Amino acid sequence: MSEFKQHKKLAQQRRMHFFGSVFALIFGGIVTAGLCSAFFPSGPGGTGAGQQEEGGAVPAAAQAKAHEPSEAVWTAAGDVVFHLPFLESGVYLNADTGSYDYNAIFDHCRTLFEAADFSTVTIETSLAGEEAGYSGYPMFKAPDALADALAGSGFDMINLASNHVYDGLDAGLLRTMDVLGEKNLLFMGTRTDEEQKKYNIVEVNGIKVGVLSYVYETTEEGASKSINSIPLSDEAAPLVNSFDPNHPEAFYEEAASSLAAMKEEGVQYTIAYMHWGIEYQTTPSKQQTEMAQKLCDMGVDTLIGSHPHVIQPVDLLTSSDGKHQMVCAYAIGNFLSNQRAEYMQAEMPTGETEDSFLLTLSLSSDEKGKVTLTDITFTPMWTYRYEDSAGAAFAVLPLNDTATLEQTTGLSGIKDAADASAARTQAIIGGGVEKVKAALPLKSAI
């Protein structure tokens, strides 16, 4: 039996057990509700404003009802690239138990995600399990402890649409989604069943945010779908959101369909996560700029890019009809990796692979349900590696105040390197940040 058939069978068994367990409660509830309605009848529209009627249709009265004004803060972090030192260092590996603990890596940035109403991060690895074996580049397989650390650091949703999503093959793909679910982490870019939607809708403080997430394919002409040159099985192929860079038309059609469906479901703001571009290039490719413009024309409100392992510029795009503007962060960099400048002399010797930034959106909805981007912040981040007595240690550091960084973190001798990282980030995104800030507030296209 294939991994997918086994997974589906187990899911069906769990559902049957669940429904069998609650049938008596439901039946009893129906009887009780019937008696209550006889003695305590509801007034007109007794289904309740905002509740869904049978069949999933929202009553017209619910659609027209006034919205409660609300505010929400959405934060996006860059890529977690899980290289070998995270597996081998005694700082994170307990040799006696064989267990891992990565919480300390995020000690100095955790409050940023806890302060946000909703936080996302991209992982370039598979949670394939200990039996599959842990590994770094080129086939990343990380311990479940990574998910524990991300959940414990305030993250709410994990972006799985990366070129390493299939490093664990069928079993790894399925297990990754299962593990995240067990940790109460949402995920985007993949789905457990091809009948599920290819997009996510997240309600944050009453504001409905629609999310698209896609990764580029390496599919050769006439061949089956592949990611990172690994052919996907027939069962896995429909479960990963991907686009063919050589033939993006199918992606455009799919994205437009998803955006239209989101609007029908009451989405008020849209974000597209795109895993794309050319590694170690600090400027977007022609294809990136073309695809970004197309997504802007479709009405996407914010685009967040990943994959190049370096930061790329921020821009404010205007739709072809002049009616809509989209914040575009072409790539937000490596949130956590071992791509140190000293190890990257051939690819990127100047340190940009150590840098990233957090993109934080402040959203506000009015009494009509219209959402506006009222503020946006770009927090420079730096991954610092140092040697501990037990091995390599890492710290992800916010650089919004490098003058006091050593004092607040207890890490000495890092100010010059931190200043250099912040300067690199400013050089790449500074102009775009000013452009976006000057245009605020920005209304959603919906």
Is the pLDDT confidence value at 136 over 80? Answer: yes
Give the angle subtended at the CA of 405 by the CAs of 403 and 406, to the nearest 5°.
105
32 is a domain residue: no
21 is a domain residue: no
29, with CB counted inside 10 A (0-12, 13-18, 19+), is: exposed
Beta carbons of 101 and 92 less than 8 angstroms apart: yes
Question: Can you give the pTM of this predicted structure?
Answer: 0.87
Percent of the chain with pLDDT over 90: 84
For the stretch 241-268, pLDDT in tens is 999 999 999 999 999 999 999 999 999 9
Give the angle subtended at the CA of 395 by the CAs of 73 and 119, to the nearest 5°.
20
34 is a domain residue: no
Is the pLDDT confidence value at 15 over 50? Answer: no
56 is a domain residue: no
Predicted pLDDT at 3: 61
Q: Confidence band (pLDDT; 50, 70, 90) for 67?
A: confident
Q: How many domains does the chain have?
A: 1
Is the pLDDT confidence value at 167 over 80? Answer: yes
Note down the domain range covering 233: 66-443
How many C-beta atoms lie closer than 10 Å to residue 60's C-beta? Answer: 8
419 is a domain residue: yes
Q: Confidence band (pLDDT; 50, 70, 90) for 10?
A: low
155 is a domain residue: yes
Predicted pLDDT at 55: 36
360 is a domain residue: yes
Q: Measured between alpha carbons, how far is residue 105 from residues 40, 99, 157, 262, 403 in Å?
A: 57, 16, 19, 36, 21
Mean per-residue pLDDT, 315-343: 98
148, with CB counted inside 10 A (0-12, 13-18, 19+), is: middle
Predicted pLDDT at 4: 61
Q: Confidence band (pLDDT; 50, 70, 90) for 5?
A: low
Q: Confidence band (pLDDT; 50, 70, 90) for 25?
A: very low
Question: Across all residues in the chain, what is the average pLDDT?
Answer: 90
- DSSP assignment of 218-246 equals -PPTTSPPEETTEEPPTTTGGGB-EE-TT
> For helices 3-39 and 169-182, what crossing angle results, to 10°?
30
43, with CB counted inside 10 A (0-12, 13-18, 19+), is: exposed
- The larger pLDDT score, comparing residue 20 to residue 311, is at 311
Helix (H) / strand (E) containing 249 = helix 249-264
For the stretch 386-401, pLDDT in tens is 999 999 999 999 999 9
Is the pLDDT confidence value at 183 over 60? Answer: yes
Beta carbons of 305 and 272 less than 8 angstroms apart: no
Helix (H) / strand (E) containing 269 = strand 269-275
How many alpha carbons fall within 13 Å on the CB side of residue 130? 5
Beta carbons of 392 and 89 less than 8 angstroms apart: yes
5 is a domain residue: no
Q: What is the CATH number for 357? A: 3.60.21
Instruction: Find all residues with CB under 8 Å of 228, minimum gap 6, and list them.
Output: 163, 164, 166, 167, 218
